[in-house]
């Protein structure tokens, strides 16, 4: 019998780890639970900034996620660490500024795949998940919509890598 590939680990990263990346984590975990990869992927999120360490996701992010059946209430903000580059296989950045911050601390021997989350979507013109923090409530719906689409693409990619 061929050896099973190792179980992948994925980390979603935004600025504060209270809006976009916990939403992406919750959406991805929700979708993952309905696939044959359930229980085989480690999922986490982090922020490049330390503004909100230990805080729960923004109440607006939580309430819009709840409407889609996604519970973010147990998540707590943390800052990304250099060690994350060795313990995660995929690091998904929400926007170019987060990407630049991550590239600035990425160790040269890291094997993690560091990409813009939306770049997993074929033929997309939108590469950034817009920061909803200082905007209106519709921004949180947009974040959820984008996360749902890109999470599906990430799941498909992981299925190809792990199950084939």
Chain positions 46 to 85 lying near ligand 4NP, rule: CB under 6 A, are 51
Give the shortest CB-39-to-ligand 4NP separation in angstroms: 27
Q: Which residues on neighbouring strands pair with residue 79, listed in sequence order?
A: 47
**Taking CB under 6 A as the rule, does residue 99 contact ligand 4NP?**
no
Closest CA to 22 of 66, 64, 56: 56
Give the shortest CB-22-to-ligand 4NP separation in angstroms: 7
**Is 109 an active-site residue?**
no
Number of residues that bind ligand 4NP (CB under 6 A): 10
Cβ atoms of 150 and 118 closer than 8 Å: yes
**Is 131 an active-site residue?**
yes
Which helix (H) or strand (E) segment holds residue 138: the answer is helix 138-163
Vertex 135, ends 133 and 136: CA angle to 5°? 115
Distance in angstroms (rounded) separating the CA atoms of residues 164 and 135: 42
Q: Which residue has the tokens 């770049």?
A: 119
Among the listed residues 62, 133, 139, 147, the single contact to ligand 4NP using CB under 6 A: 133
Among the listed residues 29, 44, 128, 131, the single contact to ligand 4NP using CB under 6 A: 131
Among the listed residues 10, 11, 18, 147, the single contact to ligand 4NP using CB under 6 A: 18
User: What is the phi/psi pair of residue 129, to 5°?
Assistant: -85, 115
With respect to ligand 4NP, which residue has the nearer C-beta, 20 or 91?
A: 20
Distance in angstroms (rounded) separating the CA atoms of residues 9 and 86: 10
With respect to ligand 4NP, which residue has the nearer C-beta, 17 or 31?
A: 17
With respect to ligand 4NP, which residue has the nearer C-beta, 51 or 86?
A: 51
Cβ atoms of 23 and 150 closer than 8 Å: no
**Taking CB under 6 A as the rule, does residue 16 contact ligand 4NP?**
yes
With respect to ligand 4NP, which residue has the nearer C-beta, 31 or 48?
A: 48
- Catalytic center residues: 14, 20, 131
């Amino acid at each position: 019998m061929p050896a099973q590939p190792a179980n992948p680990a994925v980390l979603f990263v935004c600025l504060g780890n209270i809006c976009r990346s916990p939403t992406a984590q919750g959406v991805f975990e929700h979708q993952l639970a309905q696939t044959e990869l359930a229980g085989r992927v480690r999922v986490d999120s982090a922020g490049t900034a330390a503004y909100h360490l230990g805080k729960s996701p923004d109440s607006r992010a939580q309430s819009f996620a709840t409407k889609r059946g996604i519970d973010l209430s147990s998540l707590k903000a943390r800052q990304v660490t250099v060690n994350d580059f060795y313990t995660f296989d995929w690091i998904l950045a929400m926007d170019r500024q987060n990407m630049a911050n991550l590239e600035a601390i990425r160790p040269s021997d890291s094997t993690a795949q560091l990409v813009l989350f939306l770049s997993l979507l074929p033929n997309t013109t939108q590469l950034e998940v817009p920061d909803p923090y200082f905007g209106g409530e519709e921004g949180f719906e947009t974040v959820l919509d984008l996360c749902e689409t890109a999470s599906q693409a990430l799941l498909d990619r992981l299925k190809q890598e792990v199950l084939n």
